[in-house]
Amino acid sequence: MNIGEKLALTLALASSGAQAAVSVQYYNRDSVTYVWEAMCGGSRYTVEFRQNTSATTTIPGPGPCIVKTPKGEVRLGQGAEIQIKDGAIVFK
> How would you write the chain as a 3-class SS string?
CCHHHHHHHHHHHHHHHHCCCEEEEEEECCCCCEEEEEEECCEEEEEEECCCEEEEEEECCCCCEEEEECCEEEEECCCEEEEEECCEEEEC
Residue spans of the domains in the chain: they are: 20-91
Q: What percent of the chain has pLDDT over 90?
A: 76
> Given a cut of 70, is residue 51 above it in pLDDT?
yes
13 pLDDT higher than 60: no
| pTM for the structure as a whole | 0.77
